[in-house]
Chains A and B, each alone.
Chain A
């Protein structure tokens, strides 16, 4: 059964790649790549079960994390054209010591 699921995910990855190639805007491409990452995480999991090696899920965990970081990095880069700019940060208005354990 997981073989069928893996094949279906491959088709889904292909369709998402078509959207990533077609565009038309930058955001469509980033969305397609982000969605592709989620599907690849599922695909690695299915492949591990098909081949009888569920240890591959470690790779899937890493892929899920890197996928998120890369999306945010690409968006930040295309907004500021640089990685050196800090993201928008509100100035601190209240002291953070109203809850215990903050000033350790």
Chain B
């Protein structure tokens, strides 16, 4: 039920924030549409730990803050490559292993790699990722290690304790 409560909370916050008009009629309509959304989501069976990971909001948000800094750092080489007179790029395919186990952690890791300019996840097979990198020398498997560890901790860390509790 916790997942349903989280979903209802997020949908209500979205409606209240986007509408900005708080008349009774509109609030009743908001209730009806939230109800329809929740029923549809439960019919789609997307209301579970992976579909709405609100229990791990704080680790995921702190991971996101770290990721923003990484994204802005990784932007510089790509911007320089875009505007420099001669194309000074060295594209390559790199294979990287990940320690993430759950689908949520893998999604977070692959999406972080894709969000970082200069690297794009092309394929995910089991625990291996195929990555296309703009600069081969920057994209050694070691350079993804910290991101891997942090996304693992954000999504999977302390999972055993949660399961035991």
Contacts and interface: CB of A to CB of B under 8 A. Distances in A.
Contacts of A58: 18
Nearest to A104: B1
A96 B18 contact: no
B18 A101 contact: no
Contacts of A99: 48-49
A60 to B, nearest CB: 12
Contact of B42 (A61, A96, A98, A104): A104
A100 interface: yes
Nearest to B42: A104
Interface string A86-104: 0000000000101111101
B4 A98 contact: no
B163 A98 contact: yes
Nearest to B103: A90
A101 B1 contact: yes
B2 interface: yes
Interface string B154-165: 000000000100
A102 B45 CA distance: 8
A101 B3 contact: yes
A101 B2 contact: yes
B154 to A, nearest CB: 18
Interface of B: 1-4, 18, 42, 45, 47-49, 163
Interface of A: 58, 61, 96, 98-102, 104
14 contacts: A58-B18, A61-B18, A96-B48, A98-B163, A99-B49, A101-B1, A101-B2, A101-B3, A101-B4, A101-B47, A102-B3, A102-B47, A102-B48, A104-B4
